[in-house]
Amino acid sequence: MRNVSAVRYCSLSFALCLIMWTNTAVIAQVSTENDPNPFVLAQLVVEPGKMVQGEIIVNSVNGDTSTFIPVTVLHGSQEGPVLSLIAGVHGSEYSPILSMQKLPLLVDPSNLSGTVIIVHIANMPAFTGRTIYFGPNDLKNLNRSFPGNPSGTVTERIAFELTTHVIKPANYVIDIHSGDANESLRPSYSAYYAEAGSEEVVRESERIAMAFGLSTVVQFAGSYDSVNDAIYTSAQAVTLGIPAMDVESGELGVIGDRYVSPITKGVLNVMRELDMIEGKLELPESPLIIADRTRVYSEHSGIWYADPLVRTGDYVTQGTRLGVITDYFGNELETVTAPASGVLLILFGTPPVNTGDPIVVIGKVGEP
């Protein structure tokens, strides 16, 4: 990881930077302030002020399936942080993928400080196979497969390539999701680990999560003893010492602008916060902070009927009826009620339900 605070500081004032770096005897970096080196990602070489699009190759192992990860790299003509944006970890979450189609058109690398790595579709097998949660080849969840394994299954190899080429070179990572194709999810929110990583990593993660500018911010609980325990994309980043955040915007495979545009705006907001581009941040006055989340896991396999009176984004009180599970003949097996009061963040929106599925997520509202 680069020295994040030094990079940020120096983008503000070249003169101040010169003094600071002179004192720490890193003169060579100062001379490249307005003339950064080419950026190298796998086999892609990006000159300053240019954009390159290409693929990270995920090779076959022992005759197993191979795949690729489509990426765009925008390398600024000025020094600055490396920001990695990852869409499509879940291949049927479309609003992040569509937002990342638009972003290269909105960022001019000749007016950019730093480097943006855009992963358009992290999980190509899941995208082309139209699967939720899991890749179709090995039935593994990419967002539970970090740091990955170069000789593992295709999902584990994708995770390894992302860790190597997208997470480790970054100063900041944004992992962008929506409700999966079976999930209602509202409101759109950003999220960060409030306990994982060093104090500076937590502070910087919070900084970008707030700068993203959504009106709801979730604080993830928990921390990780090692990178092998940090199986989630952004958990891998923070455990490696790289500030990171998640985004959730969109639901049920819907591709409307109401879900795509908040992602695009949020990413540009973060780039402004990090002094990568010019412009004023657009922020809500006082975002709702969700400090804790409660889940309901299905106790049966069968057919799920969400209650027509409740909607994601509603505030529900403990005991509110959220839906019913029946067997495959229509006989009721289980009534699902809210185990706690809070904002109904996620609710299954399609009929299939399996024992152990997380059918409900409720966010408890914390201190502002």
Closest contact distance (angstroms) between CB of 212 and Zn ion is 16
Residue 165 within binding range of Zn ion, rule CB under 5 A: no
Closest contact distance (angstroms) between CB of 176 and Zn ion is 9
**Residue 35 burial by Cβ neighbours in a 10 Å radius (0-12, 13-18, 19+):** exposed
Closest contact distance (angstroms) between CB of 271 and Zn ion is 23
Residue 177 within binding range of Zn ion, rule CB under 5 A: yes
Query: CB-wise, 8 or 90, nearer to Zn ion?
Result: 90
Closest contact distance (angstroms) between CB of 348 and Zn ion is 14
Residues 6 or more apart whose Cβ sits within 8 Å of residue 257:
none
Which string of x and - marks every residue 67-106 that binds Zn ion (by CB under 5 A)?
-----------------------x--x-------------
CA-wise closest residue to 237 among 268, 202, 262: 202
Query: CB-wise, 143 or 171, nearer to Zn ion?
Result: 143
Closest contact distance (angstroms) between CB of 73 and Zn ion is 23
Query: CB-wise, 250 or 287, nearer to Zn ion?
Result: 250
Interacting span for Zn ion (CB under 5 A) from 7-15, 171-179, 337-345, 346-354: 171-179
Query: CB-wise, 93 or 156, nearer to Zn ion?
Result: 93
**In whole angstroms, how far apart are CA 239 and each of 119, 227, 229, 236?**
20, 6, 9, 5
Which string of x and - marks every residue 23-62 that binds Zn ion (by CB under 5 A)?
----------------------------------------
Query: CB-wise, 181 or 271, nearer to Zn ion?
Result: 181
Tell which positions 123-152 bind Zn ion, by CB under 5 A.
Answer: none
- Cα-Cα-Cα-Cα dihedral sign, residues 70, 185, 303, 336: positive
Query: CB-wise, 143 or 269, nearer to Zn ion?
Result: 143
Closest contact distance (angstroms) between CB of 143 and Zn ion is 6
The token pair that represents 17 in the structure block: 């930077």
Measure CA 293 to chain center: 18
Query: CB-wise, 90 or 120, nearer to Zn ion?
Result: 90
Phi-psi group of 31: left, alpha or beta (phi > 0 → left; psi -120 to 50 → alpha; rest → beta): alpha
Query: CB-wise, 75 or 177, nearer to Zn ion?
Result: 177
Using the CB atoms, write b or e for 261-298: b if 16+ within 10 Å: bbbbbbbbbbbbbbbbbeeeeeeeeebbbbeebbebeb
Closest contact distance (angstroms) between CB of 154 and Zn ion is 18
Phi-psi group of 164: left, alpha or beta (phi > 0 → left; psi -120 to 50 → alpha; rest → beta): alpha
Residues 6 or more apart whose Cβ sits within 8 Å of residue 329:
none
Closest contact distance (angstroms) between CB of 152 and Zn ion is 20
Contact 349, 182 (CB under 8 A): yes
Q: What residues line the site for Zn ion (CB under 5 A)? A: 90, 93, 177
